[in-house]
Amino acid sequence: MSPRLEALLKRFEEGDQRALARLITLIENRAPERNAVIERIYEKTGQGHIIGITGPPGAGKSTLVNVLIGKYRAQGKRVAVLAIDPSSPFSGGAVLGDRVRMTDHYRDPGVYIRSISSRGSHGGLSRAAREIVKLLDAFGHEVIIIETVGVGQTELAIMDLADTTVVVTVPEGGDAVQVMKAGLNEIADIFVVNKADREGADRIKAELELNVHLRPAGGWRPAVVMTQASADKGVDKLVEMASKHREYLDAHRDPVREANRRTHELVEVVSGELEQRATRSLRTGGAEKLVVGVRDGRINPYSAARKLLEDPAALGELLAANNNSD
C-alpha cells in the first residue's frame, strides 16, 4: 500500500470526514487499490444499523429521510445517508435534487450525506454501494440510510445490503399494486404509506395489511405505518418499528442467511476484480494474439474466451499484467 493511501487511512481512522469523502471517491472511481482499503477496515464493520428506503419516485422518500435524520440525531446517534441517484444524461454525475431537501443537516458534524450516481452500471453500482456502506459503518455511523430513486432491479439489489428495508408508497395511482408488481412486497420489512392525509390512504393501508397477512406464518411480520413526512406525523412510529426490527434480527440471527450473504459478497468481489483486471490488461496488450484475432474477426469472442480460460498460464499472465494496486 502506498504511503499516500496509508496516510489517508490513518486520517480516516482518526475521524477525518474529508478522508472518508476521498476514500468514497476512490471506491466510486473503481480505483485498483479499493480492495486493499476495504480489506483494511473490514473488521470494524457490522456495527451500524443499515436502513434501506425505497419506493416509486414522488413518494416523498427524501422528505422522510430528512425527518428520520432529525429523529436519530435527537437520540444522539451518528447518521450517514447514501442517496443512489439517477445519472445525468449529460455529465454522468449524480442528480442532486434529493440532497437539497436534506440541507437541514449539512452543518451537523454528526451527519454525513453522500450521493452516488448509477452511471448506467447496475452490477458496479451495487458493488460500489456495498463498499461505501462498509466505509460509513467503519467510520462509526450508528445509522446508515440508503435511499434509492425507484423500484427497478438495481434498487432491489441495493436493498439486499440493508438490515431493515422500508418500502414507501403513496395513496394515489394504485401504488400498492405497483409495489407488489415490482416485487418490493417480498423484501419489505416495513411498509410506509406516506402523504397519509390524501384520499385513498386507508385503502392502500388495508391492501398492504392484507398482503402481509397472506404471507407464510412465522418470522417477522412487516408493519404498515402511516406518515405525513412533510408535517412530521407518524415518523416516530417508523423509528420505533425500525428499532423493533433490529431487535428482532439480533434475537433471531440466521447463520445460513449470514453465510450466504458472505458467500455472495465473495463472488461479487472476485467477479468484479476479474472483470476489471481483464479489461485493463486486454486494453494494454495482454493476450495480444487473441485480442488481435478478435479485433480482425478471425476469432470469435467466445472461442477466444474459452482458449484463455483453458490455458492457466495465459490467464495468469493476463490477470497479473498492469494490476499493481500500490
At 153 the pLDDT is 66
For residue 164, list its beta bridge partners. 51
Global pTM reads 0.85
Closest among 7, 81, 80 to 37, alpha carbons compared: 7
Query: Is the CB of residue 24 less than 8 Å from the CB of residue 134?
Result: no
118 pLDDT more than 70? no
For the record, the C-alpha cell of 78 comes out as 451518528
Mean pLDDT for 138-164 is: 84
Q: Which CATH class is domain 45-253?
A: alpha beta
Residue 105 pLDDT more than 80? Answer: no
> What is the reported pLDDT for 292?
82
The predicted pLDDT at position 174 comes to 56
Q: What is the pLDDT of residue 11?
A: 97
State which amino acid sits at residue 317. E
CA separation for the pair 174, 172 (Å, rounded): 6
Q: Which three cell numbers stand for residue 260?
A: 450466504
How far, in Å, CA of 261 to CA of 14, rounded? 30
Q: For residue 304, what pLDDT is reported?
A: 85
Q: Provide the pairing of β-strand 79-85 with 190-193.
A: unpaired
Residue 216's pLDDT band (boundaries 50, 70, 90)?
confident
Contact 12, 37 (CB under 8 A): no
Asked if 56 contacts 179 with a C-beta cutoff of 8 angstroms, the reply is: yes
226-250 tens-digit pLDDT: 999 999 999 999 999 999 999 999 9
Mean pLDDT in residue range 112-127:
72
At residue 98, the pLDDT reads 45
HSE value, Cβ hemisphere, 13 Å, CA-based, for 173: 11
Residues 72-102: tens digit of each pLDDT: 999 999 999 999 875 544 344 444 444 555 6
Q: Tell me, rounded to whole angstroms, the distance of Cα 84 from its chain centroid.
A: 7
- Residue 179 confidence class, pLDDT cut points 50, 70, 90: low
| Tens of pLDDT, residues 250-291 | 999 889 888 988 898 888 888 877 887 777 777 766 677 787
Mean pLDDT over all residues of the chain? 83
Could you write out the three-class secondary structure of 256-269?
HHHHHHHHHHHHHH
Residue 16, amino acid: D
CA dihedral 213, 215, 217, 220 (to 10 degrees): -90
Cα–Cα nearest to 126, from 48, 33, 191, 52:
52
User: Across residues 166-174, what is the average pLDDT?
Assistant: 80
Would you list the domain boundaries of the chain?
A: 1-43, 45-253, 259-320
Q: Lowest-confidence range among 105-109, 127-131, 197-201, 258-262?
A: 105-109
